[in-house]
Each structure stands twice: as structure tokens, then as C-alpha cells.
Amino acid sequence: MITFNQKTRIFHLSTSQMSYVMQVLPSGHLTHLYWGDELKDAALDYLITEIKRASYVADTDGIKEFKLERLPIEYPAYGNSDLRKPAFVLEHADGSNISDFRYVDFEIQPKLLKPNNLPSLVDEKGETLIITLIDNVKQLKMQQYYGLNHQTAALVRFVTIENIGIESIQISELSSACVQIDNTNQQLLHFSGGWAREMQFQQSELTQNGQIIESLRGQSSHEHQPFIALADSQFNENYGEIRAMSLIYSGDFRASVTMEMHDALRMQIGLNPAQFSWRLEAGEKFETPAALLVYAKNGLHEMGQIFRTSHQRFLVRGNHQWQERPILINSWEAFYFDLEEARLLDFAKESADLGIELFVLDDGWFGRRDNASSSLGDWQVNLRKFPNGLGSFSQKIKAMGLKFGLWVEPEMISPDSLLYQQHPEWVLGTPGRQHSLSRDQWVLDLTNPDVCDYLVETFMTIFKEAGVDYVKWDFNRSLTEIGSQFLPKFRQRETAHRYILGLYDVVERLTSAFPDVLFENCAGGGGRFDAGLTYYMPQTWTSDDTDAIERLSIQEGTSMLYPSASMGCHVSASPNHQNGRLTSLKTRGIVAMQGNFGYELDILALTIEEKEIIRQQIKFYKQIRQTIQFGELYRLKTAQRENAKAWLYVSADFQEVVVSYVQILSRANTPSKRLCLTGIDSDCYYQIAGTDVIRRGDELMQIGLAINDVKHDFFAQTWYLIRQSENKKRN
């Protein structure tokens, strides 16, 4: 519910799990009073008057002791007596950076609103508070949007600025959200990493230095997830308050937390000002990407549950949202660029025989692409590899009972391509400057609508002709020396953001033209595993690291924010191609069954015994698929802190439970091990599928399941538990 008390001028946004409270001061400044567990009334008008901080700074509006720097300002401006980090900076025609927005009015809309041209949660049952503020001196209108999703207790924030004056301005910085939080012993949480090492969960102490989590790569990046959180320093899986923000965006971002001299914390997230500014002409409006704010009262599990549910239920859209995802085989780690129709058909036939449902033709099928050095942009099938064309190949695949999937990397262009000869001006960059190659490729200028139209037309044709059921949309380099030959010089610093707007336009048009096609997002693995692209493509290739053991922490981090039905996880060869590690097929299978399951190895080269293991894995995954993809996740052991990882999924109807355990290194003289469960019903009985064993839920939680083997590195075990009907108990 959203309420406004006319007398105290207090806004109260509440769900059964959370309250967010703001107050408009007599001066028109909007202050932040509270964000935490639900308050029934939130009559917090005493709060501001009780602030007793000494302050060294100046008075505001000529009122003695009215000091902005003492106050929890909701969305602080640059250019007044609050000298802490501002949430936005505008540059006016007279060269000044001073802004002063005061409250004008508000409205409440009976649905969750989103920015017009950017992704965000969609919820017809939500509510949105829109607060309007005006800078009278410069005739600028700011609107703060607070969307409330009652079902998950998540809050969606974004900001618009409208130029209602006659002079243009330059937006130098405009956060999507900012909150002030008292420093009651908080820790910073975030996810960092690199290529093939994405989403490593991090926690660190706060200091008065301030901390920044950001991407300047033109993509949300492998390096940092657009996410930041403050947690009670005692937090764990089920304890401690956490306040988190993520940005529903796929480009450069900056999240920061600053601690001011009186210890209060300001946490913000938004576009990265280091690679952004925007000319706003008279009459124009600018909207920021949306930020998702999550408050969890009881630790990491609750936080993860709110993010996963918000993403799966309110961000993912389309026909595939709740559809079970097919088990796939991908040609990449099996053959790389060395594609040949006859061999691929044998490979597909063997796959179909083992129970695989989708065949994915990865990189190497087009142009003269025998390695990464050419042909991006020349999206014609290579007739040497596929003599009868892609349509004919796809039909043969489908005749085997498989679906057909295709890899593409539309945003890229190779210097060695016909497209580059025709359109050198379509390359992103600045004339006269170096255009750095990465993986021998450049990026197309998606700020240019002609390029976007060309991509939509080209890929419409390819998808139609090839009869695709699935598309893997890849993106294999960061943006460097960012500039556009299409944009005028005063808009060059808009390039990175306009690029993402162009990308969203292209993928919106293509995904809505092919509603039955399953799109998988990829950027050299998880380089753009973000909420922005999750709005368009319901699943993402989690990482190029397919090693089962390294995948433990990558999948663990990813699954803290994203639903399992969004994570691509494949069984690949051993020794692993990325790190040479040897693991059993069983362990690789159990780890890959944490998400959308698939294979990425040459099954033609496997032994009969190995193929039989694969056949059984596929049979088992089909039984547990609904529970894994759409059930609730509980983490039992975390790879980062323990020498093992274990997790559990409970089906939406609570009838089925899948438990998985992976030991990392074995140790000599290890005692017997057990694994205690959580998230199940303590009063119910569960049968371990494939056995006669029936155990009561309380025993499974307190005493646990026995681990079969303590003596082998990378040993893995999985259990499938079926809840027994009320009267069926233990023999």
C-alpha cells in the first residue's frame, strides 16, 4: 500500500514484509526516514526533529540550524550545503552545476510503472508513487518513481528529468536510486570476478573511504554484477538485515557506498558518470534505467528468494517464462569452428538417441569463419560446411525429433568481412583514433538506427529460413575507445548509453517477432548476465568456464540473484578445456543439473559406458526438471567457505525435493559426513527415490543424509526425495 499523510507529509510504502518511508519538509526537501521491516503506522514525524548531530556546515534557506548535511536527503543534489556525495549533477547553460529541486506534488498509479524504453519489472497488481519536484530557477522537472511489487516486497525506482525551460542542459550524473542508511555495523556485499570467473560473492568492511562497484566496459561485465548491498555484519544464510540494490541494465554502471563524517551511509546505483552525459534540449525528457531495491529481514536466503522471484515472475516474459527448458547439446566445445555437416548429423543422431531435445549449432557456420578472425557481419551459411544450406540442415535435425538452435553474434563486425567493406562507418569508434581489436572484432554502432534496422531485418530472415527454435545471442568483447560516427560531437558521451538503448530496441523487435523461439543471452559466458537482458531473453549462458568445480562458486553466486531457469549449465569434457581438471561424468552431471541442463562435448568420442551414464542423467533430469527450473532453492553448504558445496530444490507444490552435494578436496582421516537439509516440511515423511528408505522431515533436517564417499576429490551425490501422502509413513 502507498499512503500519504497530508498533515505530516509522510509517504509510507508498505508490503507485509517491508516499509519505505519519506517525508517532505516545510522547505520542500524530500527526506528519507526509514527502509526496513514493515511498520504498521509509520507516523515518524518526530524523526527529523530528533536528529542531534553536530554540524560544521552552513544553514539552508537562511534558517538558523536548518542544515541539509544533517538530514537524510532522499535524492541529494549537487550545489547546496549538503556536501556529501550527490545522486545527480546537472550542468546548466550558464555553466553552473547547482541544482535545487523542491517538492511540488505526487500521484499514485495502480500498477507498476517502468521507464518507457528500458526493461523493468511488469506487474499489473503493483502500485507506483510518482513524486514531482521542480528546480524553479532552471525550469527543470524531476519525477521520482517508486514502484511497489506487493508479491515480492521489491521496490522499483527510477528517475526522469524533463526540461521545461528554454535552454538546453547537460545531465552529467543521474542515479537511478539513492538511499541513506544509518551505519549500525554494516558490511558491503557484491559480486565480482572476471571472464570464466563470474559472480564470486564478496563481503567487505566499510570505511570512510567510500567504495565503488562499477563497469566501464560498455557491458554490465564479467567483472562486477550491477548489484550492491549493505548487510548487518553478523549476517548469514538466515540471519541479518540486508538492503540491496540492483540495476536493471546491461551497460556501464556505478554502484557506490559512501560513509560520511557522522557515519551515515549513502548507497547509490545508476549509469556510470565516467562514461555518460546527456544533452537535454528544451522540451525533452530523460529517463534512467530502473533499480530494484530489496529488503530482507532474515539474511541471504530471503534476499535471494526475493530477487529470484522478482526476476522469474515479473521480469522474464513471454511464452517460455514457465515452460520447461529443453536439454541441449551444443557444438562449441565438441568441435569449435571445425564444423562439417555429416559429422554433425551423426552427433545429433547420437544425441537424440540419448534423449537430448535441442541441438545447438554454435559459432563457425557462416562466412569464412574457420577461426575467430573473420566473417562477423557476413551472416550467410558456409556452403563448404553445409552444402545444402542451413534450412536443409535444420530440417534434417528436426527430422530426428530434435529442436534446432543457432548461435549468432549480431552486434559485432570483423575487419575481414564484406559488411565492413560496405559500411566502414558502422563501426563504433572515433575517427582519427585507434579502434582496438579484441578477438579480431569490432562492435557495430547501435546508436545508429540504420544499423539496428539492418540487424533486425538480417536476423529475421536468418531465423525464418533456418526455422530456429532457439537462439544463442553472443557478445564477445567489451566496448573500447567509445564514440560514434553517427552522433554529433556534443552527443559523443551519450554513445555508451545509446548503444544499450539500440540493443534493447533490436532485441525487443526480434524476440517479439519470434515469440516461440527460446533466446539465450551470452557474452563470453556471463559478461552480460544481468536483469536488463533477462527481460528480453529468459536464459543466459552462465560462464565459459565449464569445469564442474569452478562452476560451484559461479553458479552459487549467480543463483543468489537469478532463477535456475535462467542459468545455462553444461556437462563438458574431462580434462576440462579451461583448466585441465579431471572430474567424473557423474560429478559434472550433478553440477550441471543446477540449471538448464545440457552437454557440450563430442559424444561420438565417448565409450558405451559413458553414453549409458549420459542416458541415465538425461532420464533423471527429465524427472527433476520442473523442481530444478521452477522450484525454490536452498543453499546448504557454500563452496567459498567450506570444502564442499550442497544445495537443495523444493518443487513449487512441495512434493519433490532434489538435494545435491559436491565435495571439493578429500582429506585423509576424514570422519563420516552427513548433510542436514533445510526448506522441507519437518512433519512429513519423504522417500528417497529408487530406494525403500523413508525418513521424517525433522530427521532429515536435524540428522541429515549420509554422504557415501569421503575419500575422493570432487565426489558428488544427489538424492531425489518424494514427499509421502499423509497416511503413508515409515514401515
Residues involved in catalysis: 474, 544
Consecutive H or E run containing 374: none
Exactly one of 162, 252, 350, 363 binds ligand DGJ (CB under 6 A); that residue is 363
Interface map 285-324 toward ligand DGJ (x if CB under 6 A): ----------------------------------------
- Least spacing, CB of residue 643 vs ligand DGJ, in Å: 29
Residue placing its CB nearer to ligand DGJ in the complex, 273 or 525 = 525
Interface map 159-188 toward ligand DGJ (x if CB under 6 A): ------------------------------
Contacts of 77 (CB under 8 A, 6+ apart): 86, 87, 88, 98, 99, 100, 101
Calpha distance 667→713 (Å, rounded)? 8
Please tell me the count of residues contacting ligand DGJ according to CB under 6 A.
11
Say whether residue 332 binds ligand DGJ (CB under 6 A). yes
3-state SS, residue 55: coil
Say whether residue 475 binds ligand DGJ (CB under 6 A). no
Exactly one of 82, 123, 287, 362 binds ligand DGJ (CB under 6 A); that residue is 362
DSSP per-residue codes, 138-195:
TTEEEEEEEEEETTTTEEEEEEEEEE-SSS-EEEEEEEEEEEEE--SSEEEEEEE--T
Residue pair 330/599 in contact (Cβ under 8 Å)? The answer is yes
The C-alpha cell 558521451 sits at 493
Residue placing its CB nearer to ligand DGJ in the complex, 308 or 385 = 385
Residue pair 547/190 in contact (Cβ under 8 Å)? The answer is no
- Least spacing, CB of residue 664 vs ligand DGJ, in Å: 25
- Least spacing, CB of residue 523 vs ligand DGJ, in Å: 7
- Least spacing, CB of residue 369 vs ligand DGJ, in Å: 9
Instruction: Name the residue type at position 145.
Output: Y
Local structure of residue 465 (DSSP, 8 states): H
Interface map 379-398 toward ligand DGJ (x if CB under 6 A): --------------------
C-alpha cell, 369: 569463419
- Least spacing, CB of residue 595 vs ligand DGJ, in Å: 15
- Least spacing, CB of residue 372 vs ligand DGJ, in Å: 7
Three-state SS sequence of 427-450: ECCCCCCCCCCECCEEEECCCCHH
Exactly one of 123, 416, 544, 545 binds ligand DGJ (CB under 6 A); that residue is 544
Residue placing its CB nearer to ligand DGJ in the complex, 87 or 471 = 471
Residue placing its CB nearer to ligand DGJ in the complex, 173 or 474 = 474
Exactly one of 201, 407, 514, 685 binds ligand DGJ (CB under 6 A); that residue is 407
Q: How far is the CA of 179 from the CAs of 21, 245, 282, 313, in angstroms?
A: 11, 10, 30, 26
The C-alpha cell 517508486 sits at 146
Exactly one of 34, 88, 535, 541 binds ligand DGJ (CB under 6 A); that residue is 541
Residue pair 32/24 in contact (Cβ under 8 Å)? The answer is no
Residue pair 591/542 in contact (Cβ under 8 Å)? The answer is no
Strands 265-271 and 169-181: antiparallel
Q: What angle (nearest 5°) sits at the alpha carbon of residue 87, between those of residues 29 and 276?
A: 145
C-alpha cell, 73: 536527503
3-state SS, residue 410: coil
In the range 515-534, which residues lie near ligand DGJ by CB under 6 A?
522, 524-525
- Long-range CB pairs of 724-730, under 8 A, 24+ apart, other chains included: 724/684, 724/685, 724/686, 724/687, 724/694, 728/685, 729/685, 729/694, 730/685, 730/694, 730/695, 730/696
Residue placing its CB nearer to ligand DGJ in the complex, 522 or 624 = 522
- Least spacing, CB of residue 105 vs ligand DGJ, in Å: 49
Residue placing its CB nearer to ligand DGJ in the complex, 181 or 329 = 329
Strands 442-443 and 2-5: unpaired
Residue 656: strand pairing partners: 722
For ligand DGJ, which residue has the nearest CB? 363
Q: For the packed helices 389-399 and 341-354, what is the interaxial angle rounded to 10 degrees?
A: 20
* Dihedral angle computed from the Cα positions of residues 70, 76, 82 and 86, in that order, rounded to the nearest 10 degrees: 130
Residue placing its CB nearer to ligand DGJ in the complex, 101 or 519 = 519
- Least spacing, CB of residue 375 vs ligand DGJ, in Å: 12
**Helix, strand, coil content of the chain in percent (nearest 5):** 20, 30, 45
Residue placing its CB nearer to ligand DGJ in the complex, 348 or 636 = 348
- Least spacing, CB of residue 702 vs ligand DGJ, in Å: 43
Residue placing its CB nearer to ligand DGJ in the complex, 227 or 332 = 332
Strands 328-330 and 358-361: parallel
Exactly one of 120, 275, 351, 476 binds ligand DGJ (CB under 6 A); that residue is 476
Residue placing its CB nearer to ligand DGJ in the complex, 428 or 522 = 522
- Least spacing, CB of residue 197 vs ligand DGJ, in Å: 13
Say whether residue 474 binds ligand DGJ (CB under 6 A). yes
Binding site for ligand DGJ (CB under 6 A): 332, 362-363, 407, 474, 476, 522, 524-525, 541, 544
